[in-house]
Amino acid sequence: MLTLHSVPDAFSAAECDRLCALAEAAPSAEARLVGAQRDHNIRRADLVWLDDLPDTGWVMDRLIDVVRVANRDVFDFALTDFSESPQIASYGAEKAGHFDWHADIGDGRLAARRKLTLVVQLSEPGDYEGGVLEVMPTSAVLTARRERGTAALFPAFALHRVTPVTQGRRRSLTVWAHGPAFR
């Protein structure tokens, strides 16, 4: 199904705080596009990978459960695994953090197998301005809910973006569920 699906309270405020604190304390890397290229016109954010953070096994368990239920109830994709580490992205106003229109499925061994994208809102909505996650699964642009701890799920081939952050900092957790190529 071509849609944007929301799961409120996928993570509690305390869990979001914990993830933000772990990401803040860890060394981050400037976001790159698939193929290790960097283009600030397309994306400007800092990333930390969950696999590099201590005591976060519970996070993957939660993500798997959220994907399992949403896929069963909404998408019905053939999913087999999570082949990439989840990432915590930080979009700050000081760099006009953003990610222009793109799809998460594409060239590359792992990107070609991405079927479902999940993005969890880690920041409080009042912590930043701009930074809106917009998804275009059809000709209509849909806006993801901004409530802290809410998971947004959509097909990896759907165009989506994060509008520029104009004040404050937006943090989110992203993971992709993988499966056989779409037919």
Type of residue at 57: G
Q: What residues form DSSP beta bridges with 183?
A: none
For the purposes of burial, counting CB atoms within 10 Å of the CB of 54, is it exposed (0-12), middle (13-18) or buried (19 or more)? exposed
In tens, the pLDDT along 91-117 reads 999 989 999 999 998 777 778 899 999
Distances (CA, A) of 41 to 36, 37, 122, 124: 15, 12, 24, 26
Distances (CA, A) of 158 to 29, 53, 116: 26, 29, 9
Percent pLDDT > 70 in the chain is 95
Helix (H) or strand (E) holding 134: strand 133-136
pLDDT of residue 34: 54
pLDDT of 131 higher than 80: yes
d(CA 144, CA 153): 9
In tens, the pLDDT along 156-182 reads 999 999 999 999 999 999 999 999 988
Cα 131 versus chain centre, distance? 13
* Domains contained in the chain, CATH given: 5-178 (2.60.120.620)
